[in-house]
Structures are given as structure tokens and as C-alpha cells.
Amino acid sequence: MKYRVYFFFIIFFPVYSFSQETRLSESIISIAEELAADESDPEAISLYIEKLFDLFENPVMINSADQDEISRLFFLTDFQVKILSGYIKSSGKIISVYELANLPGFEKETALMMIPFISLGEVRKENAYHSAWRNTLITNIIWKPEYKDSSLLGSQVKILTKYKFSANGFSGGITAEKDQGEELLQGNPPLPDLLSGHVAWSGKGLIRRIVIGDYSARFGQGTNINTSIHTGLSLHAPGYMSARSEIRPYTSTDENNFFRGAGAEFSISNLSASFFYSRNSIDATLSTEPDSEYIKSFYTSGLHNTSSSLLKKDVITNLVYGINLSYNLRNLRIGTTWSEERFSLPVRPDLHDPEKIFAFDGNSNSVYSIYYNSLINKILLYGEFSVNNLMRHAVLQGLTIRPSDRLSINLFFRHYDEGYFSFHGNGPGGSSNTGTGKSILGNFMFEAAKHLFISGGCEVQEFPWLRYRTSSPSYRIKRAIRMRFVPNDNLLIESSYYYNMTTADSDEKNRIPELKNLTTRSLSTTFRYSLSENLTMGTRIYYKLAEQKDTRGMILLQEMNYRFGKLPLTLWLRYCLFNTDDWDTRIYTYENDLLYSYSIPALYGRGSRSYLMAGWKLSDKADVRFKYGVLSKLQTGNIYAYSEEFRLQIRLFI
Amino acid sequence: MISLHRISVSFFITLISLTSPGADHYRLPAGAGEAGTGYSCIMKNGFWSSFHNQALLADNQSFTFGVNYQDRFGISELGTRTAGVIISSGKTSLGLIYSHFGYADYRRNMTGLACGLKLSEKLAAGVQVDYFAEMVPGEYEDVHLVTGEAGIVFHATENTLIGVHLFNPVPGSLTKNSMPATLRIGAGTNLNNLLFAGAETEMSSGNPIILRMGFEYEAAKKIWLRSGFSTENNSFSFGIGCLAKFIKIDLAFSTHERLGITSSASLIFKIH
């Protein structure tokens, strides 16, 4: 699983009087569309959105001054958490979110970004932990009527159910999921395709957290262990934010990239230690040779809706264990991580394929890493070095400078050696994976005038070995610039330009193909305006050009969000027309969706995409959300083909 | 054997499509005042613009009647004749429009019944039910279609209006017709007491985005000069209008990069 989440994008959402969830969506849109456009693993988006919704629904009690509580704002750096906590302790209480922008290490955008996810309300005496039992049950049902395939084992309905409880620092939960085409219950004993659970305890003393069951972990910059959300830089990022090391209960739906066992965090003064142990069953494609059983490849989609995919389910036992130690000095944090990973069968790549010459071969892998981050005046330095048992390494180094309160500049370099593997690692970088290669990235964020923000960046990636559809060393260049204008609380205007140049094999046959450049440029403009407290409108225009084929794509969409005054009802409407010449000029558009869910269709061809979503709050203990979407596409012969989708969500709080 | 009748119809259908590549043929070509500003009008109050965006009907507070003729490239067979009436009733106004395009061998008639309502001080909305009939004598089958359109207009500031209009928004796959859906979004502002400027974007299903902009300047008392530009055929437009007691007369001319000039004339009678 290769996560790449640029949560820096959310730095751009403004303070406008849109509804809370509209604000949240603004932050999600940029991130999710960028992820989707890079064709990263959809689970990365899922995880990110889940984190944001979780924060949105359970905002951080910022005035608690508790570092653990504040660190739930996963987009803040360790230093920002520390500074914020210290400020609240010394000054008492934050009255306005605008105070945050004046803190050292913070900037206006960071403060704005935090708004939907924090509460300035009364601090609970029990700190971050509820004293009463709190139960939450959420069920999503997704049905696509036209999704019919006789080879599928189960119904076309996708069902996801999550149950969580918490009280006095204790928490627990169960997640069950059945994807489209999967059987409702399978195996012996009959269980859902994904069944995940955990119990956890969080405290303030020596033992900070213990999780038994399914959990995720991240240490340092993530090149060694990171099954949680991936931090990183985008071309628009105003600064680098390194997420805190953590062991957290796992509640997402990726069926392979999590730990199953036990993990614990301990802390004595400035020293923190984490231990983890996991024994999980994962999916893989095995060899069919009778005398030599080995892993041909890992199967990571999580779909088990056909007989052949079901044969890949849970066929490998994956054992992972390790230790992380970190020590805090005043403005310096240093840490080290060791992890060991074993598979029940060896991995044997096809070494006749030149692309796989450096692929992992064997059944165990050890990784050692050291990392640091340090704040010196207005300069943030961070880096990590990891090496595996083959003495292949990964190194990254970053620098953030804030020469003035209105300008921040980032530089970031990473290098992943051929032969460096970390199956549960996911370090930062501009690429969607932590595969081999080098990249250097620079970006800036500038408050050019009152209410006007300009940001941009450039990244150059070098791939010294062969890649998919690329038979020789290659490179990639990305550039972007974005302007955001927020003249008042009710209006947002944003324009952005992207340039993406990558390489791929030419179409020549019977010889080693030469590389050809594939360049796309896209321009998008968004207007978002709030007509009243209850009504928000949005207009977006996209234009995309694929240079080599000279093909074009464009989209015009209008959306509306209305909250009824007297009824506990909210409506979301979107009407979108698209016209693209081919797949290369496809455009990804984020859609409002059920809570803890998302929809980012890639629109191509000619047609329209519309949806209507309604959310009804039945009581303080229950709400329902329903979405109907329809995609209509013009086919040859002036005939329209369409696909409908129904989504239903029920939530209960007890 | 190919009949002359077929050739005639095919020729005009081809010509119609040539005149507006990138646009749908169901867009109302009414209003010389609107044509003068390049049809960037879904946010600008006016008699004919109320049928381009029915939300504007709510601002018509009188009984008004109008006729319009559009002469496309000087070819009488491509002419469009339109008549409309607006009846006001407090916060709600009703409108009725009839449009006829074509000639004896190819006719397209459109009848629309519209209603506009002021929802608040800043917001108005409107809907219209349309009936289209395309008739070709002889062996061709007549086509009859019923569809709808709707729009909203709101005051972003005291002098700035934003309009959004949807035509035939139900996906063709559901209605089983091939009529295009169209989305128009525009903003206009009164830069001062004499000058209005507007910009609009339009997209029809299966067609590229069109951008339009236009302005209207009150050069003398009750005399208006207009100009506009549309990326559809890189068309420039010019117009003039004057108000004499209860009659408003408008003239407009717009260019086509290949096919020549389209002229429009309209009369609007404010009865009460």
C-alpha cells in the first residue's frame, strides 16, 4: 500500500461563513482530486477523508492544552503542538482562532486550516476522554443497479458498518465491509470479507497507549514504518508538516496494510518508546508449481468477488515487530526505529523481467532508521536515514524557511536506493510511492496582499531504473501555481495551473522503444459564494490539454448546498457537464458524499454527471443521509448510456 | 434516388449546424438587446432575458408584450420569429413565449410557459416548461419534445447580479431524447449609472465551453449602445436600443467568422 497524502492542500481553505461541512469539503477537494489525478491508491484518500471526518465530528478541545489531544490535529508538526500547548498553559485560554496565527511556528493559513477541527469550548475536566460510554454505529449501503457481472460471487451492494465505543480512556471498535460482488458472509466460520476490531486504552502516565487488535503505526518520517496517513509536500504546500509518531487503532477499510496484534507507547519524561507486534494474514498470488511454493506478487486491491480473487485471500502470514525510541530536547527531536518483517512463504519475483531485477527476493526484511527534526529560529530542518539488511538505504532531507510572516519556502530531497524495501513504510515525497528514485522539490507560499494568497512549486523526479511502460531511465517534472482570493467571508475565488510532464515508451514495435514525453496542462477556476447562512453556491471550470495528442477536456459545474432553517435537513445538488476528447484529458472532480466516504469520478467523454444528496438529522442520536447520482455519457450513434448510483447512510449515537 | 426535398432539408440542417458549432440549436435566439451584448444576459434584467433565465421574470412588475425577429446571414429560411408576454402578479410573474424557426420544409416551433418568483430580497428563482416540435413534411418523422429549464438570480452586492441557468437538466439517458443539456453561469455589474458589464459561460452536453462578455452603455437619455463578444465562432456583436414612451426598440448585429452577419430586431410594449 502506497499512501501519498498531501494534507498541505488544506492550508488553502478560507474562513468563510459556509457551513461546517462545506468548509471541510473545501479542504478535501484539493487533496482528494490531486490524489485521484495521480492515480494513487484510493485507500489513501479513504484514510485521509476518514481522519478529517473523525476530526470534524470530534473536534480537538484546543483549550485543554493537552499535547496528546492537540496532536490529534495530525497536520500539525510536533513543534506546533508543543508551542500551542505551551501557549495555552501560559496564557490560559484561546479566545479566538485568530490568536493562533500569531504564535511562533504558525501562520495564518495554518490557523485557518484548523478552524473546522477545533473547539474553543469548555475544557472537559477529564481532559480528552469522555467519562460516559459513547457508542457510535454507522452503516453505509451503496448500490449501482447497472453493475452486473455473472462471474461475481455475491450481490452488487456494498455494505460498510463501523461500530465504536469509548469511555474513560478506553475505546474499541469493529469494522465490517463487503465490497460489490462479494458474498455477504464467506469462509468457515462465515464472516464478512473484512472484519477488523480493536480495544485500546490511552493514559497520561508511563503508559500512553495500548492497542490490542488491529492498529496502524507511524514512526519518524515513515520510511521504515507508516501504515497510517502519509505526510508530505505538495507543490502548493506552505510548509512541511511531519506527523507525530503514533500507534492508533485501525478503523479503515484497507484489507492488507495494517497491523494485527498489539502495540504500546510508553513515555518517561522526554523519552518515548513504542513496541509493536503483528501477525496478520495478507493476500497474495502464489506460484502454481507443486514442489516450490512461493509468492509471485502481493494482491492489494482487497476485492474478493470472484473465485480467482478469493483464492488469493489471506494466503500469507505476515509477521512484523519492532521498536521505536525517541527523545525530545528543547528544539530537537531525535529518534530511531527498528523493524523486522517475515513472510510465511518467500517472495520470488520474475527476474527475467528487467523491471524486476531489484525487486524484493526472500522472506524477511529488516529496516533500521534514525530521524530528527529541529527548529532553529525560523528554519525547520528534518530528515531520516533508513537502511535495510541488504544495506540499501533511503535518505530524505527537508528544509522550511519563513523569511517573513507572509512568505514560506520549502526544499525537499529524497533518494530511495534500488533494493530498499519497507513493506509497511511510506515516506514523504512528491511521488505517489516510495519506490526507487530521486526527487527534489521546492515550493513557496506567499501572502501577496490582503486576502490574496499565491503559492507554487516545482518537482523534478528521476527514475534510474525501468518502470511500468518505461523501458529506460526516465524522469518527471511537475509544476503548479495557485492563486486564492478571499475578499470577504462569503466569497472565494481560486485559480490554479498545473503542468505535468512524464515519460513513457513510444509505440514503436520490434525494437527497444524510445521514450516520449507526455505533457498535460490544466487550468481550473473555482468560485464559491455564500448567499446566506443557509445557502452556498459553487461554480467550477476546468480546462485540460494533452499536448502530444492535442486533445482537450473541459468541465463546467454548478453546485448548491442548502440547509433548511426549520427542518433538520440539508441538501447538496450538483450539475456538471463535461467534454473531453480522450482518457488522457480526463478530469477528476470531488463530490460531496456520505460521511466517512468519498466519490471522485474521472470524467471523460461527453456527457453530464449530477447528484442530489439529502441529510436528515432525525434526533440527537440518529441521522440519515441519502445520495442519488447519475452519470450520462454520449455514445456513438448519438445514444446516451447512463449509470446510476444510490448511497444510504444511517448513523446512531448512544 | 435522392429527392430534391431531402437535399433541401439536409442543406439547411447542415447550415444550421454550421452556424453554431459548439452550441445547441435549442437556445432561444430572442432579444435584440440581448444579442447586442453577445447574449451574456442571464443576470441582466430585461424582457427577453427573462426567457433566457426565468428567475429574472420576478423583476418584471408590469404587463409586457414583445416580438422579435432574427435574420441569420440574410437567409430568410433561417429566420426566427418570436413573441412573448409577461404578466406580473406581486412577487410572482408569469411568462409565455412562442418561437418559430425555419421555412415550409423544416420548421421548429417552441412554446414555453414560465414562472419567476422572488424568494428573498437577494434571491429569485424561475422555471419554464418547454414544448418543442420539429416538423419536416414528407417521409421524415416529426419530433415532439417536452422539457424544462430553470434558473436563479441573486444579488451578490447592490450592483452585482449572478445568474445560473439550466436547460433540459435531466440526463438524456433518462428522458430518452438527444436534446442537449445546457448550463449557463454568469455575473454582471453596473459599473456606474450608465454602464453595465456582464460575462457568462455556457456549456452544452457534448460541446466545448463558450465564454461571452458584453456591455451596455446609456449614451443618451433612453438610448443604449451595446457590444459583446462570444468565443462561439469568435463572434462580435453590436446593438442599439431606445425607449419611446411605452415602446422599446432594439437592433443588433453579430458577426460569424465564416458565414456573415446575423441581425435582430425587437419591439417591447409595456402595456401596464
**Cα separation of A214 and A614, whole Å?**
33
DSSP-derived 3-state class of residue A475: strand
Taking chain A, what is the end-to-end CA distance rounded to the nearest angstrom? 35
Least confidently predicted of A202-206, A432-436, B104-108: A432-436
pLDDT of the residue at A154:
86
Please compute the mean of the pLDDT values over residues A83-101 and round it to a whole number: 80
Q: Is A370 exposed, middle or buried (0-12, 13-18, 19+ CB in 10 A)?
A: middle
pLDDT of the residue at A410:
85
Q: How far is CA B48 from CA B19, B96, B127, B196, in A?
A: 22, 11, 15, 17
Contacts of A156 (CB under 8 A, 6+ apart): A143, A144, A145, A147, A148, A180, A181
Say whether residue B122 is in contact with chain A using an 8 A CB cutoff. Answer: yes
**Cα separation of A259 and A123, whole Å?**
33
Please compute the mean of the pLDDT values over residues A303-309 and round it to a whole number: 89
pLDDT of the residue at A37:
58
Using only C-alpha atoms, what is the Rg of chain A? 24
What is chain A's mean pLDDT, rounded? Answer: 83
Say whether residue B123 is in contact with chain A using an 8 A CB cutoff. Answer: yes
B25–chain A nearest CA distance, Å: 15
Of A531, A552, A558, which is closest to B185 when you measure between CB atoms? Answer: A558
Please compute the mean of the pLDDT values over residues B38-67 and round it to a whole number: 92
Q: What digits encode the pLDDT tens for the residues A161-190?
A: 999 998 888 999 999 999 988 888 888 888
Confidence of residue B175 (pLDDT cuts 50, 70, 90): low
Give the position of cell 523534478. A460
pLDDT of the residue at A34:
64
pLDDT of the residue at B272:
73
pLDDT of the residue at A1:
37
Contacts of A185 (CB under 8 A, 6+ apart): A191, A192
pLDDT at B8 over 80: no
Say whether residue B166 is in contact with chain A using an 8 A CB cutoff. Answer: yes
pLDDT at A7 over 80: no
**Cα separation of A198 and A494, whole Å?**
42
Question: What are the φ/ψ torsions at residue A301 (nearest 5 degrees)?
Answer: -70, -25
pLDDT at A206 over 80: yes
pLDDT at A613 over 90: yes
Please compute the mean of the pLDDT values over residues A41-54 and round it to a whole number: 70
Query: SS in 3 state form for A376-437?
Result: ECCEEEEEEEEEECCCCEEEEEEEEEEEECCEEEEEEEEEECCCCCCCCCCCCCCCCCCCCE
Least confidently predicted of A548-552, A625-629, B13-17: B13-17
Confidence of residue B120 (pLDDT cuts 50, 70, 90): confident
Note whether A529 contacts B156, CB cutoff 8 Å.
yes
Domains contained in chain B, CATH given = 26-270 (2.40.160.60)
pLDDT of the residue at B186:
94
Confidence of residue A449 (pLDDT cuts 50, 70, 90): confident
**Cα separation of A575 and A588, whole Å?**
15
pLDDT of the residue at A288:
81
Say whether residue B156 is in contact with chain A using an 8 A CB cutoff. Answer: yes
- Cell numbers describing residue B168: 433540459
Closest residue in chain B to residue A638, using alpha carbons only: B178
Confidence of residue A33 (pLDDT cuts 50, 70, 90): low
pLDDT of the residue at A147:
62
**What's A182's DSSP letter?**
S
B192–chain A nearest CA distance, Å: 21
Q: How far is CA A167 from CA A45, A119, A135, A154, in A?
A: 29, 20, 9, 37
Of B164, B203, B206, which is closest to A634 when you measure between CB atoms? Answer: B206
- Asked if residue A355 lies in contact with residue A337, where contact means CB atoms within 8 angstroms, the answer is no
Please compute the mean of the pLDDT values over residues B209-219 and round it to a whole number: 93
For residue A406, the one-letter residue type is R
For residue A518, the one-letter residue type is L
**Cα separation of A553 and A581, whole Å?**
6
Closest residue in chain A to residue B157, using alpha carbons only: A531
State what percent of residues in chain B have pLDDT above 70.
88
Q: What digits encode the pLDDT tens for the residues A119-143?
A: 887 555 444 445 578 899 999 999 9
- Cell numbers describing residue A115: 478552524
Please compute the mean of the pLDDT values over residues A415-442 and round it to a whole number: 77
Note whether B203 contacts A607, CB cutoff 8 Å.
no
**Cα separation of A205 and A449, whole Å?**
47
Please compute the mean of the pLDDT values over residues A591-617 and round it to a whole number: 88
Confidence of residue A387 (pLDDT cuts 50, 70, 90): very high
The helix or strand, by DSSP H or E, that contains position A459, with its residue range, turns out to be strand A452-463
**Cα separation of A97 and A84, whole Å?**
12
pLDDT at A479 over 70: yes
Please compute the mean of the pLDDT values over residues A224-247 and round it to a whole number: 70
Alpha-helix residue ranges (DSSP H) falling in A416-573: none
CA-CA-CA-CA dihedral for B42, B43, B49, B55, to nearest 10: 90
More confident of the two residues A341 and B122: A341
The helix or strand, by DSSP H or E, that contains position A310, with its residue range, turns out to be helix A307-310
**Cα separation of B136 and A252, whole Å?**
60
Alpha carbon A258 to its chain centroid, in Å, reads: 15
ipTM, two decimals: 0.76
Say whether residue B164 is in contact with chain A using an 8 A CB cutoff. Answer: yes
Of B123, B171, B201, which is closest to A642 when you measure between CB atoms? Answer: B171
**What's A221's DSSP letter?**
T
**Cα separation of A539 and A541, whole Å?**
7
pLDDT of the residue at B250:
95
pTM over 0.95: no
